Structure 1
Amino acid sequence: MNTIHTLAGRTESELLWTQRRSFLQAASVWVAMGGYNTAQAQNRSNIVELMGDALLNGQRMLPEHTIQTGDAITTGPHSGVIFVLGNSSFKVRQNTQMVVERGASLNLVSVLRLLTGAVVSVWGKGGARRIVTPTITVGIRGTGTYTEVMPEQHDRSYFCNCYGTVDVQAGADHAISQSDYHQSFWAEPEPTGGRLLRAAKAINHTDEELEFLARLVDQRTNWQILGRKGIKNGMGYMDEQPGQKHPAELMGQ
């Protein structure tokens, strides 16, 4: 299994959850039992796996609970939760606080508001939705993403458009990101070189995380569809070509 990745302030075990036997068993059961729509029809939980201690709206989260839009999720040290909501799936890392705000229906997330911590997510096709942190706002439709807020760096945010098309904004800085293979951004709390939105390397997440989350909602990543991978350097392209630039480098041109 390909687990090539770069760590920055995260541990190896946080990224390798797709190799755990408990998750593989839970994911197989989730898929075999028909996924989200069947779980909803049978009034079953939409939590695929819960690790350690987590809170749902301030109360201890249990495996039999159902996460709904409008809910607040908090994970503690060495904890996390994998869940499916509508046609989107989420892996919440340890020490994370986030809210899944309600959209046009009970099963449609309008905003993933990440206050601190990190989340890997795969979003099915649908209406406009947003990921919001203290320093970045991302407009999405159908895509795979990784988002992290770093409180020790004054809420500096990291965002990777792992595949798909998204609209990225930090303050007055704005870029359209089109990616087949991991296009990454820093959203700074204060301007660096006159910019709040800057190019970043691909860090703290793996291809396998996106692939497994996509499988939970009967999807495939762009690189699975194309049958090949690019260079995981944060540029977002399958092939390196002369003159290629990151969208953050094209702002104002």
Structure 2
Amino acid sequence: MTSHTLQGLGEDEILWFQRRSVVSASAGWLAMGGMGGASAQGRSNVVDSAGDIALNGQRWMPGQSIQTGDDIATGPASRLVFVIGNAAFHVRQNSRLQVGRGSSLNAVSLLRLLTGAVVSVFGRGSARTIVTPTLTAGIRGTGVYTEVLPDQRSYFCNCYGTVELACAGERMTSVSQYHQAFWADPNANARQALKPAGAINHTDEELEFLAHLIDQRTAWELAGRKGVKDGKGTMNAAPGQLHPAFMPRR
């Protein structure tokens, strides 16, 4: 288990993938063919769930699938892990997430996170967008962690891949090999809406878990090594290396 830093969360919330029930559910999902098997057999695309979950304002019932166009809400001590197309998600407790439809029923074009947190892994494909009350992130194939804080600031980690970020008129390109993190604060001083952040509240292993559900591997698994989890996003830390939020703005 890699080291991790928590801010406002408990250990149990980020170690969900270690539960015996989750490991068993994941093994069953993969053994039955993953998303392709679920579609062919008419099974639910929910890999794991716990607690109180609402789907489009109604209580979610085991066996129901999550579709693009759905509105998801989780209660305290709740979680929802599901796959749509070539994308996998873990919606954490006390979250509200809207899933936007792309070119087909099984293509996610938009995640709108209103409250709480979501861990997401996307296979390569058409552009997708993650939106919070203070941040817009345009992505393609990547793994990311997004959290909306009670004060409405957003935390965003580009765990690997390329992401176009925008907050309060400020734009920035994030290219990450290993966890490049940002605070999005529209109330900050001019040209400082996007600030450097540390890598908090998520682990390598949960990204790997979600990636494996869609037959993908994370950037560090492909490289066979990891960098320094300091929020700068690189495999090879160097003296004086700056986070991109410290670079000249465009």
Partner of residue 245, structure 1: 242
AA at the equivalent of 2:8: G
Partner residue in 2 for 1:221 = 218
> C-alpha separation between the residues in 1 aligned to 2:195 and 2:232?
12
Q: Cα deviation per residue 1:108-166 (whole Å; 9 max; x = unaligned)?
A: 11110000000001001001110000000000000000000012x2x100000000111
Distance 1:89 1:251 in 2: 34
**SS of alignment partner, residue 189 of structure 1:** coil
1:205-230 residue CA offsets vs partner (Å, 9 max, x unmatched)? 00000000000000000000000000
The aligned runs of 1:68-147 (5 Å cut-off) are: 68-147=67-146
Is there any run of 5+ residues in structure 1 with no aligned partner, and where?
Answer: none
How far off is 1:64 after superposition? 0.1
TM value normalised by structure 2? 0.98
| Map 1:158-197 → 2, pairs under 5 A | 158-192=155-189, 194-197=191-194
Structure 2 unaligned regions, length at least 5: none
- Give the CA deviation at 1:242: 3.2
Deviates most, 194-203 or 75-84: 194-203
1-structure distance, mates of 2:216, 2:189: 38
Q: Identity rate of aligned residues, in percent?
A: 59
Runs of 4+ in 1 over 4 A off after TM superposition: none
Give the C-alpha shift of residue 18 in structure 1.
1.3
Residue 232 (structure 1) aligned with residue 229 (structure 2)? yes
Figure out how many residues of one structure are paired with residues of the other and give that number.
Answer: 250
SS at the partner of 1:23?
A: helix
Structure 1 residue 8, shift from structure 2 partner: 0.5
TM-score normalised by length of structure 1: 0.96
Secondary structure class of the residue paired with 1:122: strand
User: What displacement does 1:177 show?
Assistant: 0.7
- Residue 198 of structure 2 corresponds to 201
Q: CA deviation at 1:240?
A: 1.1
